[in-house]
Amino acid sequence: MLRRRPLVQLGAVVALAAIVVVAAILISGGDDDEQAASPTPGTSGEPAVNEEVAKLYDGIPQQGIDLGRKSAPATMVEIADLQCPFCADYSRTALPAIVRDYVRPGKLRYELHFRSFLGRDSVRAAGAAAEAARQDRMYQFADVFYRNQGPENSDYADADFMRMVASQVEGLDVDKVVAAADDPLSRPAVKEGEQFARNLGSTSTPDFYIRKGGVLTPLQVQGTAPEDYAKALDAALGGT
Amino acid sequence: MTLRRVTAALALVGIAIAGYLTWVHYAGLEAVCVGGGGGCERVQSSRWAELAGVPVAVLGLGGYVLILASLALPEELGAQAAAFLSLVGFGFSAWLTYVEIEKIEAICQWCVASAVIMTALALVSVARVLRDAPPAARAA
């Protein structure tokens, strides 16, 4: 027959363990129901979630402008402008392979800074990206933006465009993204992205660096094909 | 075989599993997934593979080591400590298994194996706490 005291002890242990487990689940971000509770794109004439983009980034840790594990031995830093057509080419052709082969397995962390030096649409886009970063969805937002990029400085990045892009990113609060595009300079990240590029003496986009052991050095890429980036990264990561 | 020995054996198996996943994590390697399919890599590279920046594999390894170390404590205190640790591990393992199935839509066999070990440890540890014998006799 069980004695009363062990039962009381067990009850206390179970209660304490339950509290710790619930706290751990909350710290881990839960099951993302808050994001899933956002209005579902596609239900009111808006575009559906871009599944290809969602799949590319699904499950990879993302915090602000950072993508990938904090424990990665090195960080690839990109400076881009959402209006830049070369950045869009890179995003479509090389970045998916880098995410799949280096970031997802934890070999590399990715840090993406948007500057806004190509014109009004750049500034609006950087504001929207800053809000997407605040919601930890910047990489998906940028990917969809690039896929729909318009002619440079044609004022295409208006509220309707931002709404169309943001609607294709699962869990993104569309209204906040549109509001950020309308008031981009209220977002410190917009100025910080530009300042980051200037401090490095970066004059063109996309521009790439590798941060390893706290030291930031330019990433030497000979070419624009995915294998060119793989070669450069393998050389830069050698010995990690 | 006493419950203490069962606890020690299970904890050692858990240390081996969590130790392997920790090594894979820091070496930037892909965990060997029996039957392929990439489930282990998908789970290990998901955002749920870290808790507050600490790899879950490291937390598991720490948990198993502490459970093993609890055997050095007096039986009553050690049983309670092991029960607490294994119940936390069981609860969090159950949560992670749910995430694997519902969110990541991939299964990591190593994680499932660890969850099974942690479940067994929780059962054994609870049995140790509930065991109806004088504490003095159990500490011997």
Mutate to test the interface with B, among A3, A21, A109 (most CBs of B within 10 A): A21
C-alpha distances (whole Å) from A236 to each of A74, A75, A203, A209 are 9, 10, 22, 10
Does A194 score more than 70 pLDDT? yes
What residue type is A47 in one-letter code? Answer: P
Nearest to A89 by CA among A80, A77, A102: A80
pTM: 0.58
| CB-CB under 8 Å, B80 with A106 | no
- Work out the percent of chain A whose per-residue pLDDT is above 70: 90
Question: Which pLDDT band, with edges at 50, 70 and 90, does A106 fall under?
Answer: confident
| CB-CB under 8 Å, A106 with B44 | yes
Q: Which pair of structure tokens corresponds to residue A144?
A: 């969809």
Question: What ipTM was reported for this prediction?
Answer: 0.81
For the segment A196-227, what is each residue's pLDDT rounded down to a tens digit? 988 989 888 899 999 998 899 999 888 888 99
**A-chain residues within 8 Å CB-CB of B44?**
106
For the segment A28-82, what is each residue's pLDDT rounded down to a tens digit? 766 554 433 344 444 445 567 788 899 899 888 888 999 998 888 999 999 999 9
- What sign results for the dihedral spanned by CA atoms B89, B95, B97, B103? negative
What residue type is A146 in one-letter code? Answer: Y
| 3-class DSSP assignment, residue A112 | strand
Secondary-structure percent of chain A, ordered helix, strand, coil, rounded to 5: 50, 10, 35
Minimal C-alpha gap between A215 and chain B (Å): 20
Q: Give the span between the Cα atoms of A11 and B122, in whole angstroms.
A: 14
Mutate to test the interface with B, among A1, A28, A70 (most CBs of B within 10 A): A28
- pLDDT at position A58: 87
**B-chain residues within 8 Å CB-CB of A14?**
87
- pLDDT at position B45: 67
Instruction: Indicate the average pLDDT of chain A.
Output: 85
Q: Which pair of structure tokens corresponds to residue A213?
A: 């052991």
| 3-class DSSP assignment, residue A105 | coil
- pLDDT at position B84: 95
| CB-CB under 8 Å, A21 with B88 | yes
CB A116 within 8 A of CB A190: yes
CB A175 within 8 A of CB A162: no
